[in-house]
């Protein structure tokens, strides 16, 4: 998950103009939306690496992934504007659901169970 969001976050800065094209026209300030979401992707990716911040990073990345869904819907509504096959745009939706599930899985709190002395330890 770190690599996915790290590369995605970098793309927001390397390919800002391309990323702006998928922002629906009803969302104001597309450049700011792309750059801010890129910052949050990078912060979330970094947060996944450190156990104390992993859960918060997962919640943030989950919310961010939901927040960019209008971009995917817009691309489906106006496929003629994008150099992507329509089947790939449709495939993106179940991939988005799988991505959400992976975010939950990799950022879930560590389960703990009591050892023989009654002390908690990682499962």
Tell me the per-residue pLDDT of 26-75, one tens digit each, with 9 for 90 and over: 999 999 999 999 999 999 999 999 999 999 999 999 999 999 999 999 99
The per-residue pLDDT for range 75-111, each reduced to its tens digit, is 999 999 999 999 999 999 999 999 999 999 999 987 7
Please give the pLDDT value at position 79: 95
pTM over 0.75: yes
Q: Phi, psi at residue 53, to the nearest 5°?
A: -105, 0
Q: How many C-beta neighbours within 10 Å does residue 31 have?
A: 12
Task: Please list the residues that pair with 122 across neighbouring strands.
Answer: 112
Give residue 116's pLDDT band: very low, low, confident or very high (50, 70, 90).
low
**Where are the extended beta strands (E) located within the chain?**
112-114, 120-122
What is the DSSP code string of the chain?
A: -HHHHHHHHHHHHHSHHHHHHTS-TTSS-HHHHHHHHHHHHHHHHHHHHSHHHHHHHHHHHHHHHHHTHHHHHHHHH-GGGSSS-HHHHHHHHHHHHHHHHHHHHHHSPPPEEE-TTS-EEE-
d(CA 122, CA 95): 31
- pLDDT-above-90 percentage for the chain: 88
d(CA 113, CA 115): 6
Give residue 119's pLDDT band: very low, low, confident or very high (50, 70, 90).
low
């Amino acid at each position: 998950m770190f690599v996915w969001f790290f590369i995605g976050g970098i793309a927001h800065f390397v390919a800002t103009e391309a990323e702006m094209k998928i922002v629906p026209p009803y969302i104001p300030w597309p450049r700011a939306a792309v750059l801010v979401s890129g910052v949050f992707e990078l912060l979330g990716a970094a947060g996944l690496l450190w156990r104390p911040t992993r859960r918060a990073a997962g919640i943030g990345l989950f919310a961010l992934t939901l927040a960019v869904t209008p971009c995917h819907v817009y691309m489906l509504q106006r496929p003629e504007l994008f150099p992507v096959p329509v089947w790939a745009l449709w495939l993106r939706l179940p991939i988005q659901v799988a991505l959400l599930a992976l975010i939950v899985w990799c950022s879930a709190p560590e389960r703990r169970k009591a050892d023989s002395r009654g002390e908690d330890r990682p499962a």
